[in-house]
Structure 1
């Protein structure tokens, strides 16, 4: 009788067994929409990006994700295009958290205006869901395109570029950026607190940190050396490199999500499920599915 009851519960998904496999958290993730009201160029289909985003939104709603994260470059070249994108995003049935990408700064002369347009509480920030802390870094903070001229960040940018030159790095391009010493200290202090409170951490960036490429953040090694000190960091998600990439840095999964803008009809987005012991990335379109134990 006991065996029959056990089998029945197993196949019906009842009781404690169902709770063991149900995700603790489930969220939507997309990168590099780069919408623009202009003709396609090369492999970038700017007008089609709006329809792709609508498909992504409908899917997230059907999947009942608890929130959504945008990894940056939601527009391509005109700040006025942001209105149409933000209008589409109102159809989400859940809250959305943004980080900026390099293209988002086009036509922007006051960065704070951009952050308000995206309903961001600050240029970098964190939020908590249950025992998980989500850290939203701003890897555009120190860059040639983010209005650093005449500020202390201009000197930090020069130092980063010189460091890349001295070490033979390959990411010293105008479309890349890094984080300031101030943001680095904020990150380090926050990770100390998360470690002390036994929180688990996911980190989100626009520019990838690893594997090394012409798209990585200008001071990626400095960021990696900071986060790899803390076992509470369970994964890093990034955008910017439209082809996507993946690697482990000192045991931490580094996922670069494929850009939505690329290809005419094939989409790119994912849902991420956090279970009691795993992180499950369920890709759609060009995004591969992956799973990680933590």
Structure 2
């Protein structure tokens, strides 16, 4: 009994120290001027359609109100001081049902118009690929890899993965988690054929179903995808450069890559390969994704903060829409979350001096 009492006492003291530290960090953040402020959101999935439900009929989807919420979020960011420099849009900007109604182009234009003058960097998700093939997406503003500051001599010019450097101390890397996918590619393509091999792990006739599958095998569904060996090589080479230049790195993609931050059926097919590359480098501080509409977060064994941003689409109209406002300081990246998204203080791997 005395030993148990001692352990409980030590635990309470430890928790008290943690709380004091977090309070101290919050005070420091509050009193400092950030070096830069930017923002992120995900899964708007707008459509000029009546409300509906998700595939499992467990979550209501507010298609029209998604645009109302997007406008509300953008207005909040417009009125912030210091100013928000750019936005990260993490995929599924419009819903797949737009294709059925023949309004894919008009719906996309409406959502893009809301961003207005904000510099916005996009990644593509499964719903973009339900509406357009990849060749068509390259001709839209969603093809951020075509921007001058995002071009890389390492990456192929017709790929959707890219990186940019908004600050000398911070690099954003966008990966394409649907480079290997059954959606978006012609059946004759190598990428489609490779995707079909992944989907052999799905025992169901309907490859969009995860029924009768257990553990992380549930990720092998048609609505997910994977990263090619070419892209993995590009990512590894780029992170090597970031290590040498002491650049802190945030990686973004539509699909989550760690089981602590999302339901397993939402994970990238070859997430373990991506993690193995990240773990060989010191520079990565966070991975941010969408796709899992309820969101989630976790810190892996290499102290990388994984954050899955909840969907605007499934947020009830009487709530505040989920959004992330990120402030870069000398030694931390502070994230202000809203609604289902928490606040985070992420320690920089390379403090700014």
- Same structural fold, with TM-score higher than 0.5 when normalized by the shorter chain: yes
1:286 CA drift (Å): 2.5
Task: Please tell me whether the aligned partners of residues 156 and 180 of structure 1 are also in contact (alpha carbons under 8 angstroms).
Answer: no
Task: Please tell me whether the aligned partners of residues 198 and 232 of structure 1 are also in contact (alpha carbons under 8 angstroms).
Answer: yes
Q: CA separation in 1, counterparts of 2:70 and 2:300? A: 31
1:168 CA drift (Å): 5.8
1:106 CA drift (Å): 2.0
Q: Which residue does 1:252 correspond to in 2?
A: 304
Q: Which residue does 2:4 correspond to in 1?
A: none
Alignment counterpart, residue 243 of structure 2, candidates 195, 205, 210: 195
Provide closer, same or farther for how the CA distance between residues 161 and 55 of structure 1 changes in structure 2, counting only shifts above 3 A: same
Alignment counterpart, residue 270 of structure 1, candidates 324, 328, 346: 324
Provide closer, same or farther for how the CA distance between residues 277 and 173 of structure 1 changes in structure 2, counting only shifts above 3 A: same
User: TM-score if structure 2 supplies the norm length?
Assistant: 0.73
Q: CA separation in 2, counterparts of 1:119 and 1:223? A: 22
1:1-294 to 2 correspondences below 5 Å: 21-42=32-53, 43-63=60-80, 64-77=83-96, 78=98, 79-80=104-105, 81-90=107-116, 92=117, 94-109=118-133, 111-117=134-140, 118-120=142-144, 121=146, 122-130=159-167, 131-162=169-200, 169-211=217-259, 213-250=264-301, 251-265=303-317, 266=319, 267-294=321-348
Task: Please tell me whether the aligned partners of residues 216 and 264 of structure 2 are also in contact (alpha carbons under 8 angstroms).
Answer: no
Q: CA separation in 1, counterparts of 2:308 and 2:30? A: 30
Partner SS, residue 286 of structure 1: coil
Q: CA separation in 2, counterparts of 1:249 and 1:230? A: 14
* CA RMSD, Structure 1 to Structure 2 (Å): 2.2
Which structure 2 residue ranges, 5 or more long, are not aligned? 1-27, 54-59, 99-103, 147-158, 204-212, 349-353
Task: Please tell me whether the aligned partners of residues 74 and 115 of structure 2 are also in contact (alpha carbons under 8 angstroms).
Answer: yes
Q: Which has the higher contact order (CA 8 A, sep 6+)?
A: 1
1:62 CA drift (Å): 1.1
Give per-residue Cα distances to partners, 1:61-87, cap 9 Å, x unaligned.
Answer: 112211111000000023221011112
Partner SS, residue 52 of structure 1: helix
Task: Please tell me whether the aligned partners of residues 295 and 340 of structure 2 are also in contact (alpha carbons under 8 angstroms).
Answer: no
Task: Please tell me whether the aligned partners of residues 161 and 218 of structure 1 are also in contact (alpha carbons under 8 angstroms).
Answer: no
Q: CA separation in 1, counterparts of 2:283 and 2:315? A: 36
Task: Please tell me whether the aligned partners of residues 236 and 252 of structure 1 are also in contact (alpha carbons under 8 angstroms).
Answer: yes
1:119 CA drift (Å): 4.5
Give per-residue Cα distances to partners, 1:232-259, cap 9 Å, x unaligned.
Answer: 0011000000100111122111000111
Q: CA separation in 1, counterparts of 2:308 and 2:70? A: 18
Give per-residue Cα distances to partners, 1:221-280, cap 9 Å, x unaligned.
Answer: 111111111110011000000100111122111000111101321211110112111121
Q: CA separation in 2, counterparts of 1:283 and 1:234? A: 17
Give per-residue Cα distances to partners, 1:42-63, cap 9 Å, x unaligned.
Answer: 3100000010000010011112
Q: CA separation in 2, counterparts of 1:245 and 1:168? A: 16
Q: CA separation in 2, counterparts of 1:89 and 1:18? A: 28
Count how many residue pairs are aligned between Structure 1 and Structure 2: 275
